[in-house]
Amino acid sequence: MDSYAESLVAKPMTDISQHDFEIHENLKYWNSKPLLREVYAEFHREIATRLQGIPPGPIVECGSGVGNLKTVLPQCMTTDLFPNPWIDQVENVYALSFAPSSVAAIVLFDVFHHLEYPGSALAELHRTLIPGGRLVIFDPAMGLLGRTVLGLFHHEPLGLRRKIVWEAPPSFSPDQQHYYAAQGNAWRVFARGEHQLYPKDWNIVELCFFPALVYLLAGGFRGPTLVPRICIPLAQAIDRLLEMIPRLFASRMLIVLQKP
């Protein structure tokens, strides 16, 4: 671990640098949990299949964290608010440096629930996408399984009763963000339809739910692995059964939006 990482300490939960602290904490767990890396590789392959047939152009991940999407999509440009060694470019999702209609696809992996003003961020992402380009969002889902496990054992709040502020106020400055987390926001917006995406702005191509039982049993980044590796095939078989009632047992969800 470099001296910069060693200097990081947990910040007040309103400080945006809390994200960077959590990134470096997650990196330690990522390097020590092979099952977690396998689970994420499967998530990333799900994303990659949704990027087939997109227009030619760059693929950009916003909020790349520890940069692990590159293990499946090596051509992807990783970006984040913080200039860590594994990040290709520093970017702010509310004020991207890309020209209008210049990006073929954008990936938000575990980012949507950190967007305090999701409508404003979606408008900026829409601006940069080529017509026909895609935005792929992968985020927590609030089926009974996800709501129970993530609500009890994940440090971020679900935020299911918290008001979603769709657009940033006029006084908002992208470089003065606060730390924000509400794990249930993607579920509320896309599964429950609490906010409408105007058809002129986006086509909703796909909405997919995953029980992701193996992810939960792996303990995510910070929790303990709950089953021995020999039990993983059984967990995968149960996962396939739970997929028959996806909204009830969903703990993860994938949303594909396309710019018309």
* 128/240 Cα distance (integer angstroms): 37
pLDDT at 226: 82
Contacts (Cβ under 8 Å, ≥6 apart) of 167: 117, 119, 120
Closest CA to 81 of 122, 114, 38, 57: 114
Which string of b and e fits 109-144 if b means at least 16 CB within 10 Å? bbbbbbbbbbbbbbebbbebbbeebbbbbbbbbbbe
| Ordered mean pLDDT values, 10 residues apiece, the chain (260 residues) | 41 75 92 92 97 96 96 97 96 98 98 97 98 98 94 92 95 92 96 83 95 91 84 88 88 97
Residues paired with 206 in a beta bridge = 256
* 124/129 Cα distance (integer angstroms): 9
Half-sphere exposure of 6 (CA within 13 A, CB side): 3
Calculated CA dihedral for residues 56, 69, 72, 77, nearest 10 degrees: 30
What angle, rounded to 10 degrees, do the helices at 18-32 and 34-49 form? 110
Can you give the pTM of this predicted structure? Answer: 0.92
Closest CA to 64 of 51, 76, 52, 49: 76
**H-type alpha helices, the chain:** 3-7, 18-32, 34-49, 118-128, 144-153, 185-186, 213-217, 232-242, 246-249
pLDDT at 37: 92
Give all strands (DSSP E) within 178-247, no chain letters. 203-210
Place of tokens 């030619």: 56
pLDDT at 13: 54
* 131/184 Cα distance (integer angstroms): 29
Hey, is 24 helix, strand or coil?
helix
Give domain limits for the chain.
3-140+162-211+252-258
Report whether 219 contacts 228 (CB < 8 A).
no
Spacing of C-alpha 22 from chain mean position = 14
Residues paired with 257 in a beta bridge = 135, 204
Q: Which CATH architecture has domain 3-140+162-211+252-258?
A: 3-Layer(aba) Sandwich (3.40)
Phi, psi angles (nearest 5°) of residue 54: -75, 160
pLDDT at 8: 41
* 67/107 Cα distance (integer angstroms): 12
